[in-house]
Amino acid sequence: MNTFSGLEKLDPEHIFTAINDQPAQLRQDYGDSMRSAISADEGIGITNIILAGMGGSALAGSIAKNWLFTRLGVPFELVRGSTMPAYANNHTLVVISSYSGNTAETIQAYNNARKNNCKVVCFTNGGKLKEMAQDDNITVFELPTVSQPRLAVFASLKALVCLLIELSLVTETDMRRELEDAADFLDTQKVAWAPEWQKNNLAQDIAKELANKEVIIYTSPLLGSAGYKLKIDINENAKQVAYMNVFSELNHNEMQGWIFPKEKNVASLVLASSFDSEDTTKRIHTTQEVLKDHGYTPRVITSAGSNHIQQLLYTIILGDYISAYLAILNGVDPTPVDLVEKFKKLLTD
């Protein structure tokens, strides 16, 4: 029996098409908008970077930090909220990221960054943020129209990387080319995860293993942002509980919590990279050995790709497919986030 036979009926907004289209976002050309609004001279004197955003709008910053950790020339912090740190000033680049342009916390972060005389750039698809930025003569990078912010992450990543390159805030190694090569690589991989691919579909197989269980995701440090994206995808697409943590932090606390309760209804995933250090690989194996008598039987997913960013994005898009298939197994539409929208409405009533 094909457990995904109701896919088309449950996916009226075509999330599988949106997932499939994501690699093309890495080919987005932000060069023209930057050349007219951003000059390399504006990077002079920038001593730190902040990306402010909530939910899916913050994910590009998380991925960029994960990927560019050894290439960043200045500190880079994520602000998932409305308050700017005290050090934010005219030497701080603040990227305000809100896909809808109407996120309350992010609009307040925009106002606070302006009060602190920070250099502000906005990533958005429209809304109040775009209007405010245009009125204030602030540079806006317009994101492509998609059904949900979590499906515009690759475009946000491309915009952020282009911005950092133009301002000379990263060690330049032609990262635009790296992202375009990653897009080509993902186009070759995603075929085997699409609904049309019925034989040995890895994304479908993993979704079946996760159905009706709480999901615990552990990742190597190299894939931390991909693990967090998968957690969000399972929460928002599949409407299912999921948690994540990173080696080796989890070895100092969370692993102790596997003792109770004795009876567990969990599915465990480990996201590993072929570039993991020997120490990380040993920790992954040793964790499995120590916890094998406490319900920890993880499915290990080893990312593919010839470099770090390819492996990060490979894991992310595979996770997108897994979570969308899990939604179908749960009998729900993957796209809307009704509880989140209800919560926002109650806050404004």
Q: pLDDT digit string (tens) for 89-107?
A: 999 999 999 999 999 999 9
Catalytic residue of the set 65, 91, 294, 344:
344
Please count the structural domains in the chain. Answer: 2
Same domain, 29 and 127: yes
Q: Is 236 a catalytic residue?
A: yes
For residue 3, name the pLDDT band (cuts at 50, 70, 90).
confident
Catalytic residue of the set 9, 199, 252, 262:
252
pLDDT of residue 228: 97
Is 195 among the domain residues?
no
- What is the per-residue pLDDT across 46-99, written as a single tens digit (0 to 9) for each? 999 999 999 989 999 999 999 999 999 999 999 999 999 999 999 999 999 999
Same domain, 136 and 282: no
32 has a pLDDT exceeding 80: no
| pTM of this structure | 0.95
Of 21-35, 172-186, 268-282, give the lowest mean pLDDT range: 21-35
1 has a pLDDT exceeding 50: no
One-letter identity of residue 309: I
Is 347 among the domain residues?
no
Among 183, 213, 231, the domain-final residue is: 183
Whether 28 and 144 have beta carbons less than 8 Å apart is answered as yes
By percentage, how much of the chain surpasses pLDDT 90? 84
pLDDT of residue 197: 86
Which residues constitute the domain of residue 314?
Answer: 200-330
Strand positions, DSSP E, the chain: 48-53, 76-79, 92-97, 119-124, 139-142, 214-219, 242-246, 266-272, 299-302
Q: Is 344 a catalytic residue?
A: yes
Average pLDDT score over the chain:
94
Same domain, 204 and 164: no
110 has a pLDDT exceeding 60: yes
CATH of the domain at 324: 3.40.50.10490
Strand positions, DSSP E, 220-298: 242-246, 266-272
Q: Is 13 a catalytic residue?
A: no
Same domain, 214 and 265: yes
Whether 251 and 258 have beta carbons less than 8 Å apart is answered as no
Same domain, 164 and 229: no
Which string of b and e fits 251-287 if b means at least 16 CB within 10 Å? beeebeebeeeeeeebbbbbbbbeebeeebeebbeeb
Catalytic residue of the set 166, 236, 239, 308:
236
Same domain, 21 and 80: yes
* Residue 197: count of CB within 10 angstroms of its CB: 14
Nearest to 237 by CA among 317, 168, 334, 306: 334
For residue 36, name the pLDDT band (cuts at 50, 70, 90).
low
Same domain, 173 and 208: no
Nearest to 216 by CA among 260, 259, 264, 248: 264
